[in-house]
Amino acid sequence: MESIFKGSGTALVTPMKENGEINYDSMAELIEAQIAGNTDALIVCGTSGEAPTLDDPEHLEAVKFAVEQTKGRIPVIAGTGSNNTAHAVMMTEEAEKLGADGVLLVTPYYNKATQDGLYAHYRTIAAATKLPCIVYNVPSRTGTNIQPATMARLARDQENIRAIKEASGNISQVAKLASYLDGSFDIYSGNDDQIVPLCSLGGIGVISVLSNVAPKETHDMVMMCLEGNYEEARKLQLRALPLIDQLFIEVNPIPVKAALNMQGFHVGSPRLPLTELTDAHKETLMAAMKEFGCL
């Protein structure tokens, strides 16, 4: 099985103008900076991209723009998940038409599906597309945890369900998942503070917030792991922890948009109900960025 990508996939923010519209000039700058920084894939219109407040036409326009700007240099993975299975199917089909290289599918939120419901949800979406699908497990946001046995069942029964973005934070769960899958399925870390631990269990990369502001270092951390250089990877992981902590000092993507603005990318403010980073947190974020060397 060929992996969708190995390394660091950036969970790209969606830049906004002052009037709230998507800022495509800034998005182009971000994409070029990511590619120049050795990022291995772009994930657009996910959590960091404020997908919950994008309507369908602008969501798909953002995917289209990213595909066209990237020009095949690295994979573009579109966030098309929903707690409405039919809506997720429609968005996935549209993303495929627009040229996306894969889709990221968050576990259904609020509905709180059973494990059988999750299985049926993902199989229904995957059956509607030829694109490789990444399941996104983030119980802290969705209230639903996809169990390792369910994930293994999906990997076995649906050929294009190819990977998981595992953001449960539960390393024991990741270990169990890895033992069930036995290398036949790709695991990406969904937590920047667990890149090295997850790679040590057989993970092949990260879908990252950190890489928005530190693309080269995030890519390098994964590659050190994949090359077996865990000592240097560990050092980089620990050095990045203060910055990672600040990037989640308020709910993502509030801090990372502030960080990118500090770097001069003009990504604007988040859409309501998310708000600007507080002044006190801006100071601690700026200090952490300077200490890490990305400002």
| Cβ proximity of 78 and 104 under 8 Å | yes
From 165, 188, 257, 282, active-site residue: 165
Q: Is 290 assigned a catalytic role?
A: no
The dihedral sign for the CA sequence 80, 9, 6, 146: negative
Would you state the structure tokens that stand for residue 106, as one six-digit string? 């968050």
List all residues 6 or more positions away from 188 whose beta carbon is below 8 Å from its beta carbon.
9, 134, 163, 164, 165, 166, 198, 203, 204, 205, 206, 207
> In Å, how far from its chain's centre is CA 17?
23
Nearest alpha carbon to residue 185 among 146, 157, 218: 157
Contact status, residue 45 vs residue 13, Cβ threshold 8 Å = no
Using omega within 30 degrees of 0 as the cis cutoff, is the peptide bond preceding 273 cis? yes
Q: Point out the catalytic residue in the list 136, 180, 188, 282.
A: 136
* Whether residue 136 lies in the annotated active site: yes
Listed as own residue / partner, the contacts of 153-160 with beta carbons closer than 8 Å and 24 or more positions apart are: 153/119, 154/119, 154/122, 154/123, 155/181, 155/184, 155/185, 157/123, 158/122, 158/123, 158/126, 158/127, 158/133, 160/126, 160/129, 160/130, 160/131, 160/132, 160/133
* Residues, the chain: 295
Task: Show which residues are catalytic.
Answer: 136, 165
